[in-house]
A and B are shown apart, each in its own frame.
Chain A
Amino acid sequence: MTPSSRTPNTSDIVIAGLGMTPVGEHWNLALRELALEAITAALNDAAGLRPNVLYVANMLSPILSGQSQLGALLADFAGFRGIEAVTVEAAGASGGAALRQAELAIASGSADLVLVVGVEKMTDRVSSDVEAALSTASDADYEAVHGATRTAQAAMLMQRYLHEYQIPADALSGFGLLAHAHAVANPLAMFRKAISPEAYARAPMLSEPVSIYDAAPNADGAAAILLARRGSIPERLDRPTVGIVGSAVATAPPALHDQDDPLTLASAARAAATAFQRAGLTTADVDFFELHDVFSVFAALALEASGFAGRGEGWRLALDGQGSRESQLPILTFGGSKARGDTGGATGVYQVAEAALQLQGRAGEAQVAGAKIGMTQCVGGSGGTCATHLLAILEAA
């Protein structure tokens, strides 16, 4: 990692507090209890500040938990009865999209303190139900109805990637290996165990060529972040002030066959470019990147779309030591979706919380030394929505 040189554009939006639950199978907690655990942790972290507005990032609750209107439910359950509260849904990009809405609410001047909680509960139902629910992120009329699950689509995309660039079958193995190695340092991760290249080679196939080590596990979890207008809250001296210096949400057709080029994550390219432009930064300034490795091929495509690698070169950034916490561009520093566990609509909130911990110097064993600027990116479905965030230290402690 090289310390960044450029100074980002200033920002009014700072992270006042954050909290995350362990990621895994929370069979003993209801969706609201899981969310409350993260909310309580975030508000404690914010020294008791209370939000004016709540945005809930969630994708599957209406289908898997039979519950919609999470805004009202969680505002009440968390003790904020009456405040403005709504759900933001953009499949796997819900978390980043909800944060974006929170930033806009503060930027518009309508709120000073906005709480974002990403919550997802996937493991209470059998896997066929969960797979069907996740398929709603694709085009229902033209993809899902024909049985093209997201795993099947990822398999086609991965096959195309391997074929188009004529690279080895294990070219994408670096992402899974890296994620598992990094998750060892994350006490909240679902799988805190490194895997070997041999284990990758032997892994059972889910949908050829996607093996279990190319696909993130579905998990339960909740993460919460309290965003504040800088100046509206007391300055803290115990940790660096971390702000959101650039963010963007962009879209592309949800259906793979409607995309101009399925091997280009067009929504990610747009969101990254816009976020960089808003922040006044470039890829060279980024000290680490929390990307969305829901399938390994998407990790490679994210690196390419965001400008870190040329077309067909993204897979190299997870091999030969690259991507590690000591490398030029650390990725998946807390284990990513592959090993932390993928919490669907909550993923983007986990990513930003993890990035904030890195910049605040609170990442513990997972710390990237000297990190000043971090980037996060979550993707909905096969690239229909992408939310990208750039975070920076605004003021040292």
Chain B
Amino acid sequence: MTEASPIPMLRPNLDVGIVGYGAYVPRYRLPAREVARVWKAGMGGTPIEEKAVPGLDEDVITMSIEAARSALARAGIDPTQIRAVWVGSESHPYAVKPTSTVVAEAIGATPHTQAADWEFACKAGTEAVQAAIGFVGSGMARYALSIGMDTAQGRPGDALEYTAGAGGAAVILGPADESLAIFESSYSYSTDTPDFWRRANETYPEHGERFTGEPAYFEHISAAGRALMTSLEATAQDFTYAVFHQPNAKFPERAARALGFTPEQTKPGLLVPRIGNTYAGSSMIGLAAVLDVANPGDRILLVSYGSGAGSDAFSLRVTDLITPRRDKAPSVETYIARRTEIDYATYARYRGKLTLK
């Protein structure tokens, strides 16, 4: 018999942090009551207040570019120093042809760069962050850009149509001494759990209804969060803020409670009631919103969740550099406040729900 080995935390050779971050939320908002009006005769509960909807000329590429430009503005670095542009999404405009090369070109990071698209449902973005920690932490790159961005698909009339939103965030990872927040440790937890999927060439995803809860979201979020906290010998009280993947308002609130966090710790990063579930962008834009208000010394727990299924957990410590960099780009709240309400018909047009041929 071999002794049970400790849960393997992910630690790079060199300390890595976030040198710049940026978010994006499109301006249009579809109230959940509009979905209920069209599909449920106005009856039944709504899982959020409203969701963000991209305009006709927006997609994951354009949205990623704006978030990346904000991240660059905060980082204050030369984009040619970036050695990886990685975009995690489940709404890449092309099935074959990278989102990331267009983004890299647009921000001036080409040609001496890695570029790739990541796919792992709602944790494609944080998966790209894990990889970037390794890329930078090994010394292969000074800077790497990881983006989680989505224009999520919700089948008309499906329960997910209330929440399938649009938005996300970009982070530029670099050396700890240049960072506004430093990664203390991270961990990834993955299993084969088929709770939500979209097969090739399908327009809309399918899901296993209540199966998406207990054995999927809650199991992975708690396992990843708990393992990371245990390895750091930390409890919820040791963190200032916590951000969890937020497919609706209830799930992250319950996950937070189970790990011992208070509503005060999660509120700044809990955006889903106002912008919907931004899928690969969801936990990352929550982190961006927390960085918008965090103070030097604050400690942040970030746990993503991707269907299929897995969670990435990160512990971050905010540095003094947050103060001079924060205001060099628009805050998440600025994007949320920039709001134009639309009705279901306009939403149907903007999102191409009407098949014209």
Contact = CB atoms under 8 A, between A and B. Distances in A.
A126 B208 contact: yes
A126 B43 contact: no
A127 B44 CA distance: 17
A27 B215 contact: yes
A126 B209 contact: yes
Nearest to B206: A126
B243 to A, nearest CB: 28
A12 interface: no
Nearest to A27: B215
A205 interface: yes
Nearest to A128: B209
Contacts of B214: 25
B209 A127 contact: yes
B209 A204 contact: no
Nearest to B193: A27
B211 A27 contact: yes
Interface residues of B, number: 9
A328 interface: no
A205 B42 CA distance: 12
A205 B44 CA distance: 8
A123 interface: yes
Contact of B44 (A27, A123, A126, A204): A204
Contacts of B199: none
A205 B41 CA distance: 12
Contacts of A27: 211, 215
A183 B44 CA distance: 26
Interface string B212-252: 00110000000000000000000000000000000000000
Interface string A176-199: 000000000000000000000000
B258 to A, nearest CB: 19
A28 B210 CA distance: 14
A204 B208 contact: no
B45 interface: yes
Interface string B29-48: 00000000000000111000
A123 B43 contact: no
A255 B214 CA distance: 38
Contacts of B210: 25, 123
Secondary structure at the B interface, as helix, strand, loop or mixed, is helix
Contacts of B209: 126-127
A126 B195 CA distance: 11
Interface in A87-145: 123, 126-127
Contacts of B44: 204
Contact of B45 (A25, A204, A205): A204
Contacts of A126: 208-209
Contacts of B211: 27
A225 B293 CA distance: 62
Interface in A317-350: none
A25 B215 CA distance: 11
Contacts of A28: 215
A123 B208 CA distance: 10
Contacts of A123: 210
Interface in A69-87: none
A224 to B, nearest CB: 26
Contacts of A205: 43
A13 B208 CA distance: 44
A223 B233 CA distance: 45
A27 B44 CA distance: 27
Interface in B164-211: 208-211
A175 B211 CA distance: 29
A124 B37 CA distance: 30
A147 B214 CA distance: 32
A123 B210 CA distance: 9
A212 to B, nearest CB: 11
Contacts of A127: 209
B43 A204 contact: yes
Nearest to A130: B209
Interface in A16-52: 25, 27-28
Contacts of A204: 43-45
Interface string B56-81: 00000000000000000000000000
A134 B282 CA distance: 38
Nearest to B210: A25
Interface string A53-82: 000000000000000000000000000000
Nearest to A204: B44
A26 B97 CA distance: 42
Contacts of A25: 210, 214
Nearest to A25: B210
Q: Name the residue in A126, A127, A205 with the highest tally of chain B Cβ atoms < 10 Å from its Cβ.
A: A126
Interface of B: 43-45, 208-211, 214-215
Given A25-B214, A126-B209, 11 more contacts: A25-B210, A27-B211, A27-B215, A28-B215, A123-B210, A126-B208, A127-B209, A204-B43, A204-B44, A204-B45, A205-B43
13 contacts: A25-B210, A25-B214, A27-B211, A27-B215, A28-B215, A123-B210, A126-B208, A126-B209, A127-B209, A204-B43, A204-B44, A204-B45, A205-B43
The 4 closest A-B pairs by CB, nearest first: A126-B209, A204-B44, A27-B215, A127-B209
